[in-house]
Amino acid sequence: MQHRTIIEPFRIKVVEKIKMTTEEERREFLTRANYNPFLLHSSEVLVDLLTDSGTSAMSSEQWAGIMLGDESYAGASSWLRMEAAVMDLTGCPYVLPTHQGRAAEHLLYSRLGGPGKVFISNTHFDTTRANIEFSGAAAIDVPVPENRQTDLLLPFKGNMDTRALREQILKNGPENVAAVILTVTNNSGGGQPVSMANAKEVSAICRQYGVRLILDACRIAENAWFIKNQEEGYENHTYRAIAQEMCALADGCVMSAKKDALVNMGGFLALRDLDLALQCRTVLIITEGYSTYGGLSGRDMEAIARGLEEVFEPDYLDYRIKSTAYLCEHLHAAGVPVMRPAGGHAVYIDARRFYPHIPVEEFPGQALVCELYLKGGIRTCEIGSVMFGKYDEHGALIPAQMELVRLAIPRRVYTQSHIDYVIETFEELMKDRKSARGFRIAYEPPFLRHFTARFEPV
Ligand code: F0G
């Protein structure tokens, strides 16, 4: 069959205006934002690829559900629908609603963590790591080595290195491993998927040592697409059945509903262990809200219940994964050093290779983020030494493993012409790469510095 354009499997019923800007205006905005796009106003952005989190366009079904939201304090019908949807997906009997993913992380990891404890993951996301470190515990990343090779075309580069997992469990002692966290897809590891075979192996190792396995399931539907289409034996499974099979391997799930539940706010913690669930529920009620709404409105829970259905629709997932690959492959063809194959929700640029003249200490990723904004009004996110860099005892930078820039694609929001515009902006940036300059940090907070740090050009 001839190659056909991937059309968006939806029509647009409501539109939101984008205010056009010039490069001069954007230079002013970026200076005011101290060269940190997190500090820009969204009205100053043309194509916002900062995150795929909470930025989805909801469907007419979900918006209709908003009107049906039951705002009762206790036992709302919207909660019962959300709870049923989460139980069906995770198979976990105890579900705690939270206002977003990190609230679920905080509930669970503050209970399990503390000084002397370690968590082991295929790659901790920044809020996951921050919650763990905030409790006094340590977060250890054990991705497969292929994960670091940005142009190696292998299907499941998000996998956990099971040999390293076993070594870390033995080195720290199983009793000190608070949990193993399998993040699907592996967001900080390039949005790469995790295979079912790997998840099964991780689960078996956890069982062998009596260690708890938690699934960070925020992009589990996208991960299921890769399993169905790329892993032997899953061709005839539904996406939902694949996700359910993966959840069944774990002792619990945390999920930011702002990703694959296709909503603007929400999350949950789902557990099999009653005692642990009761401990977390106590903190939930103190900090988030009563146990049948967490931090959510009834209408939010209604939208989550519907989103968890829609996200597994084959036409949607096919469009979603193929349109992300479209951006990735076109950038690659234009000579941009992208991480390949494409992840599910985002395309990652290797900024060290894009700007080889900018040393890691001057944050090549931040330089690319700023250039994309200036030239194209495109907002993106650095995932490198700004986000994950640390200091040694002499104050010298310990860089992150990779200097990436993430182009995260909001779900059902942009059309192919927006994506083509992003590709054209990259083609322009390629032409005068040498003129880009690095940055130094002028201010930084102690945790999650990338959100509020201020920069100065070097
Ligand atoms: N886990 C993963 C893998 C995530 O990607 C995120 C959020 C969270 C947990 C926390 O969820 O934002 O609802 O509190 N990731 C967003 C991103 C922020 O841009 O990748 P949250």
Closest CA to 258 of 309, 290, 303, 299: 303
Cβ atoms of 406 and 383 within 8 Å: the answer is yes
Give the distance (Å) from ligand 1 centre to CA of residue 159. Answer: 18
Q: Whose CA is nearest to atom 1 of ligand 1?
A: 125
* 341 preceded by a cis bond (ω within 30 of 0): yes
Q: Which ligand 1 atom sits nearest the alpha carbon of residue 127?
A: 10
Give the distance (Å) from ligand 1 centre to CA of residue 128. Answer: 8
Q: Under DSSP, is residue 124 helix (H, G, I), strand (E, B) or coil?
A: coil
Q: Whose CA is nearest to atom 2 of ligand 1?
A: 125
CB atoms within 10 A of CB 58: 20
Could you read off the pLDDT of 133-144 as tens digits, one per residue? 999 999 999 999
Pocket test for ligand 1, best of 99, 259, 300 (most atoms within 8 A of CB): 259
Q: Give 74-80's long-range contacts (Cβ < 8 A, gap of 24+).
A: 74/290, 74/292, 75/292, 76/292, 76/293, 76/298, 76/301, 77/298, 78/298, 78/299, 78/301, 78/302, 78/305, 79/292, 79/293, 79/298, 79/301
Q: Whose CA is nearest to atom 21 of ligand 1?
A: 101
Element housing 120 (H / E) = strand 118-121
Question: What domains does the chain contain, in order, with CATH numbers?
Answer: 23-52+313-457 (3.90.1150.10), 60-310 (3.40.640.10)
Give the distance (Å) from ligand 1 centre to CA of residue 105. Answer: 10
Query: Global pTM?
Result: 0.95
Q: Under DSSP, is residue 343 helix (H, G, I), strand (E, B) or coil?
A: coil
Could you read off the pLDDT of 25-80 as tens digits, one per residue? 999 999 999 999 999 999 999 999 999 999 999 999 999 999 999 999 999 999 99
Give the distance (Å) from ligand 1 centre to CA of residue 37. Answer: 18
Per-residue pLDDT 10s for the chain (458 aa) are 557 888 999 999 999 999 999 999 999 999 999 999 999 999 999 999 999 999 999 999 999 999 999 999 999 999 999 999 999 999 999 999 999 999 999 999 999 999 999 999 999 998 899 999 999 999 999 999 998 888 889 999 999 999 999 999 999 999 999 999 999 999 988 899 999 999 999 999 999 999 999 999 999 999 999 999 999 999 999 999 999 999 999 999 999 999 999 999 999 999 999 999 999 999 999 999 999 999 999 999 999 999 999 999 999 999 999 999 999 999 999 999 999 999 999 999 999 999 999 999 999 999 999 999 999 999 999 999 999 899 999 999 999 988 999 999 999 999 999 999 999 999 999 998 999 999 999 999 987 889 999 999 99
Could you read off the pLDDT of 183-239 as tens digits, one per residue? 999 998 889 999 999 999 999 999 999 999 999 999 999 999 999 999 999 999 999
**Torsion, CA 419, CA 267, CA 203, CA 227, rounded to 10:** -30
Q: How far apart are CA 243 and CA 237, in angstroms?
A: 10
Both tokens of 334, joined, read 């234009």
Q: Whose CA is nearest to atom 5 of ligand 1?
A: 187
Q: How far apart are CA 320 and CA 327, in angstroms?
A: 11
The separation between CA 156 and the C-alpha centre of its own chain, rounded to angstroms, equals 16
Both tokens of 291, joined, read 């146990």
Give the distance (Å) from ligand 1 centre to CA of residue 317. Answer: 20
For the chain, the first-to-last Cα distance in angstroms comes to 52
Closest CA to 104 of 277, 259, 229: 277
Ligand 1 pocket (Cβ < 6 Å) reads 51, 53, 100-102, 125, 127-128, 183, 187, 216, 218, 256, 258, 267, 408
Q: CA angle at residue 255 from 314 to 210, to 5 degrees? A: 110
Cβ atoms of 91 and 247 within 8 Å: the answer is yes
Q: How far apart are CA 282 and CA 457, in angstroms?
A: 47
